[in-house]
Structure 1
């Protein structure tokens, strides 16, 4: 019998070659000599298989020193802080073919998607690339490790995406580097470094694109010691409907203006669970953009912040009140002679190269800063915060602190203290640089887009694209905040729909007199609770690799809620309507639990349609103009019963408003069940119009609180108006 050879691990699907470091010369006259690219051995990068279908890319390099300056106390050559190490990413055989989805940092604080046909065109500061080869999806995710940050970019020699440096490679070395088109760069953000060693990226291959991304994120999070989204529940304080002052009042926020808006909410019967008092409330020097005190501006809040909080709670039933803060204190830090510095202690602060006074990078420094401020806020009744300008920190400390030094202890202190003082109720904002999102240990919520721009309706597509595509990555780590919106707006209903599917905070920023309760009704329950899906909305597989603003089909995102899948279609092409195509949107998503046919409920038409596997996909749905939207519910669960409860159909996330089973026996009992029927008890979140799917027309009775109620049937979709929350359903066996 032949001896079976032991199995060997699969060869890595990528390698790295042509590595070069960018060196700043030391020694006399160094400032007159430019930085130069110096080739280093290819083992500067190593690829390690973590498990089947998942690989880790690490980097380790040291600057070779001239013999006359080899001692560390001499003027040594150092790595460039902005581009320390750069190399070509290669793939066995031929390089992957486009299209490629890229998530790249286009501003200091934000990311957006881009689509490219060639790796050489990948944008600078790209953090994730996703592509498909045949039936497999590949995700390549860059990481900011303990010290260094990795970025992906197109070949600098081909497209000039990285600033020019003198290339010291000889011709033979240059010729040996394959023209793969994709490069990876590492940087430290700190001058004077002579060595660098850190994790750089993860690559995963899977049949499902979301699984590939999740594998990379899970591995990176474990390596860095931070939680993933499944361990970051949405804080209770942010679970209801909220209102933020920013797009209404800007920096002119005041107690009087807040109370005026709350009077309107009260008159219109809008249940506001939380209020976020944004920038403008604190005592600052508005010209210097510095924080003077840790209390409220006495002109805008003449009775103090605690008085405003008490009014909101006692007069208007607001449960939670939050305030805005900047990660560095205020936009340009703290006022050196102010009360804030006196309370915190100057020894817990650091001065940047351009003179800004900010919280220090050490654990004790950051802890004292946030402990002092958060404790005072709690004494004023504040129980949630929005911490802004987070990714400014590495910019403000550029050259002085590495990416890890600038963020790790500062984020750890903030996360830990908000968890202790406020139950973790914090919105991380302006923090989509990788050194920010890879270094928050436990905080749950992060903004996933640039600001909502209420005065520019044409910004809808950009806003939704940033949120949905960035949620592919951010949604594996955090609860995604799609930002505030206006209920009186040309695209208000679409904005409301997408906020409902975000699985994150839902809040508006309406100005006085501008709230439309009809837009909010489908979002909220009567007590201000917000029904949410289990997962953040992300683009369906068919929408991952193409720019939806110029596609023929309407753009589609999906989220799940129990055994129901929600599909939201949006018209994203400003030049022409786009067609809804259900079969296309479902292609590539997991099949039904038992592999059978799907049923789809059209929420607008209040109809149900059977979608059989392999059926003709030529049938097309309605056209959507720019900004128009439509929602569908798809049953993905097993067919264990004759009926499938959908929930309160007048709510966007209807499946989140119903639970199968009841906690009492006030409905159908064993004695009154018919011998030829079966039954189900459900509990609604509140009384309302209850919908269920009855594909075979077997439902014979719906009872609310023990009384039979009329059922309106529209094909397979049944609806009944229930004045209580206990509902019992009977069907023929």
Structure 2
């Protein structure tokens, strides 16, 4: 059977004798041998086993928010087992107007026949014909706290668990697989000698799972569009999934922040926070939010015993701390850290806190006590906690250890249901009482799919001060994880120290991230010049329009093991920004090539390309490029601006995201008027014989070198203005 030819070029073919499915895109086989597997507690079933009988196919048409689709179900009869003879339907939902397929299983089991710990069932895939390489996000712990980038050349030799796969084919087509978490079960991708499996697990053997989630598969030529549409299809299948664009960005994280963790660790106390605020003020570091990390809690061991902080470390509590920070030091927002469970090992059952909220607390299978994941029972715990925090002057929370729930709810609540209930409770309570959340240790998709409010989330392992190799691997993971994770949340690249030997690479990667930027400095050591390139004088960070993503030529390369620089791009309006960094593990020198196409700019135009650190300005065609050599962990930020009527804006080059430092550009009959965010150094490319410059209505002096405010240089089409005001006018001759 073949689905009728669709305008998307996608076809589903099903073998009438076995029920195995194949997917074609642009008349080429892309995925072959799609079948199913089920794991009874006492037996494993699936294709290739004689006891599974293919009975035929069923078809129906329908519509959802993404448009019309054809739904094809392959029906199987299973053998008599555990008192019943169930049937299975493997469903493929093929969109007519988009090259997308969703798949899942349905069965008629009436008893809890699936294992407590392991796979319920899922989709099996035998081959990816024409496969060239795969970009795989691998979970690094059993719980799935963080994902790491893997380049896969041979899927059969790769056995890690993951949550996203982008495959590249020999003809430059791409496909992606996005797991679906539904009906109490979470889903993972795993490759092996028999092909790929998309495996669902509920971790509650007492439940009947009549529907088993699978995945969304997307196809196309543009990998960024393929990923975006696959997540749109995920949202159509599971309306509880809210994509980043639906949720907004918290106002708090428009400002530069500071976190206590790498400065003070678990020994943090009130005096450390106050002295850090004092040092920030003294050194004119415009930090506007403070985050008190692990170490503040009143606890017994690793169990939370009170909403209030440890009185020995925080005399006067958060209320006094917030009053002092906001009243004396100009810190606008105060945040505190906690885990989803309360603290690492939950809540102290011998505490007054437990007694007060016993009805909202759940006893886990592993002996931990946590806010209840049954329905909305845990909501009151978080709501009262956050209400107290708000009354004390706390504005936001960082919620850590989100993926660590499986061993707590084992055989009591299905994992996807439990995670959804807890995270909905957290986000609902925060939306009512606080101004924002940083999600952390939640790259397992059962977490990320259930963030209902404005979402910022860590997308890598912890920052490691002074460690060059970990800096390389973290920046790699950050950039590649953003390809898919930025569909769900604004990426948090984690805190960093401006006085780290690797600080420049950390700073530029965070500048282009599109997410929050916060320090964990010993502030007396801070590199204030570096910090001021990240934000304005009032502490507002200069964020690009979208999270940075890996460039097309990097998608199926391994910049850690190959002599190939890592590149990531984003935009500010029509201006592209491309970061390049040498993250090779051997530290070999590399050559980077960057052009307008790296930033997805119109190849039919001409562009001015500015190398921010090198200070070099060049003009290139839309299909052209500039080159630069990079040493170990050396980086460069390329600003690629379209040349229109002989002018290209680079921006306020005191800042990394220079174009964002310019509020407006207006062309006039005799020149150009620009409005800046603040005073600073403005740079532009200008094709003219001469130019006169004025700032705030006063003429500027042209000099050979910048000689102070309201002077400018103009040579080889490079115009540099030291603007002592915000209103700049150019009169071109």
Give the TM-score band, short-chain normalised: 0.7 to 0.9
The alignment status of 1:190 with 2:193, answered yes or no, reads no
The alpha-carbon deviation at position 216 of structure 1 amounts to: 0.8
Q: Which has the higher helix share?
A: 1
Q: Find 2:353's aligned residue among 318, 336, 340.
A: 340
Q: Give 1:587 deviation, angstroms.
A: 4.9
Give the conservation status (yes or no) of the 8 Å contact 1:127–1:143. no
Give the secondary structure class of the aligned counterpart of 2:378. Answer: helix
- Aligned: 1:704 with 2:713: no
Q: Distance in 1 between matches of 2:319 and 2:509?
A: 34
Matched, 1:300 2:333: no
Pick aligned residue for 1:612 from 610, 621, 628: 621
Deviation at 1:410, TM superposition (A): 1.5
**Secondary structure at 1:581 match in 2:** strand
| 2:638 is aligned with 1:632 | yes
- Which residue number corresponds to residue 258 of structure 1? 273
What TM-score does the superposition give when structure 1 sets the normalisation length? Answer: 0.85
Q: Does 1:118 align with 2:131?
A: no
Counterpart for residue 510 of structure 2: 499
2:186 and 2:202 in contact (8 A); partners too: yes
The higher relative CO (CA closer than 8 Å, separation ≥ 6) is in: 1
Q: Secondary structure in 1 aligned to 2:385?
A: helix
3-state SS of 1:11 partner = strand
Alpha-carbon distance in structure 2 between the residues aligned to 1:303 and 1:232: 36
Q: Which residue of 2 aligns with 1:727?
A: 728
1:140-185 deviation per Cα after TM superposition (whole angstroms, max 9, x unaligned): 2122224222222113xx2xxxxxxxxxxxxxxxxxxxx5x22222
Q: Match for 2:537 among 515, 526, 531?
A: 526
1:421 counterpart = 2:458 = no
- Residue equivalent to 2:547: 536
- Which position in structure 2 is the counterpart of 1:717? 718
**Alignment of 1:649 onto 2:648:** no
Q: Which of 565, 586, 600 is equivalent to 1:590?
A: 600
Does the 8 Å CA contact 2:334/2:396 hold for their aligned counterparts?
yes
Map of 2:95 onto structure 1: 50
Structure 1 contact 143–438 (Cα < 8 Å) conserved = no
SS in 2 for 1:467: helix
TM-score, length-scaled by structure 2:
0.85
Shift in Å, 1:467: 0.9
Q: Is the 8 A contact 1:305 1:380 kept in 2?
A: yes
Q: Which residue of 2 aligns with 1:166?
A: none
**Which secondary structure does the structure 1 equivalent of 2:568 belong to?**
strand
Please state how far the C-alpha of 1:228 moved relative to its aligned partner: 1.6
Whole-Å separation in 2 of the counterparts to 1:193 and 1:375: 36
Give runs of aligned pairs for residues 167-206 of structure 1, distance below 5 A: 181-206=195-220
1:105 maps to 139
Residue 671 of structure 2 corresponds to: 679
Match of 2:119 among 75, 79, 83: 83
Aligned position for 1:162: none
Partner of 2:68: none
Distance of aligned partners of 1:294 and 1:730 in 2 relative to their CA distance in 1, 3 Å threshold: same
- 1:589, CA displacement in angstroms? 5.0
Q: Aligned partners of 2:622, 2:549: CA distance in 1, in Å?
A: 23
How far apart, in 2, do the equivalents of 1:319 and 1:432 lie?
A: 29
In 1, the alpha carbon distance for the partners of 2:671 and 2:597 equals 34
Aligned residues: 661
Shift of 1:221: 2.6
2:413 & 2:273 partners in 1: Cα distance?
Answer: 40
Distance of aligned partners of 1:124 and 1:552 in 2 relative to their CA distance in 1, 3 Å threshold: closer
| Structure 2 residue runs without a partner (length 5+) | 13-22, 24-30, 55-73, 76-88, 703-711
The answer as to 2:610 corresponding to 1:601 is yes
Check whether the contact 2:166–2:174 (CA below 8 A) recurs between aligned residues. yes
Q: Does 1:356 align with 2:368?
A: yes
**Counterpart residue number, 1:410:** 422
- Which residue number corresponds to residue 581 of structure 2? 570
> 1:328 and 2:341 equivalent?
yes
Does residue 621 of structure 1 match 2:628?
yes
**Pairwise CA distance, 1:686:** 0.6
Deviation (angstroms), 1:384:
0.9
Q: What displacement does 1:273 show?
A: 0.3
Q: Distance in 1 between matches of 2:498 and 2:432?
A: 34
Task: Provide the rounded CA distance (Å) in 1 between the counterparts of 2:575 and 2:212.
Answer: 42
Q: Write the distance in 2 (CA, Å) between the matches of 1:499 and 1:614.
A: 28
State the alpha-carbon separation in 2 of the partners of residues 645 and 525 from structure 1. Answer: 19
CA positional deviation for 1:456? 2.5
Higher strand share: 2
Q: Could you say if the C-alpha distance between residues 701 and 339 of structure 1 is closer, same or farther in structure 2, counting changes exceeding 3 Å?
A: farther
Q: C-alpha displacement at 1:95, in angstroms?
A: 1.8
1:380 aligns with 2:392: yes
Q: Distance in 1 between matches of 2:237 and 2:106?
A: 20
Match of 1:22 in 2: 39
Counterparts of 1:556 and 1:113, CA distance in 2 = 14
Post-superposition shift, 1:576?
3.7
Q: Residue in 1 aligned with 2:491? A: 480
Q: Is the 8 A contact 1:686 1:724 kept in 2?
A: yes
* TM-superposed deviation, 1:83: 0.8
Query: 1:24, 1:77 within 8 Å by CA — same for their partners in 2?
Result: yes
**SS of corresponding position for 1:713:** strand
| Structure 1 position 691, deviation (Å) | 1.2
Question: In 1, Cα distance between the equivalents of 2:722 and 2:114?
Answer: 73
**2:242 aligns to what SS in structure 1?**
coil
Segment drifting more, 94-103 vs 205-214: 94-103
Residue in 1 aligned with 2:69?
Answer: none
Measured in 2, the distance between the counterparts of 1:680 and 1:539 equals 34
Partner secondary structure for residue 99 of structure 1: strand
Q: Which secondary structure does the structure 2 equivalent of 1:310 belong to?
A: helix
RMSD of equivalent CA atoms:
2.4
1:11 corresponds to 2:11? yes
Contact 1:643 1:699 in 2 (8 A): no
Does 1:311 pair with 2:318?
no
Alpha-carbon distance between aligned partners in 1 of 2:180 and 2:690, rounded to the nearest angstrom: 53
How many Å separate the matches in 2 of 1:698 and 1:45?
70
Contact 1:648 1:654 in 2 (8 A): yes
Secondary structure at the counterpart of residue 378 of structure 1 = helix
Report deviation, 1:207: 2.2
Report the equivalent of 2:592. Answer: 581
Deviations 1:217-275 (A, max 9, x none): 12213432232222232211121111100111111111111112222212211111000
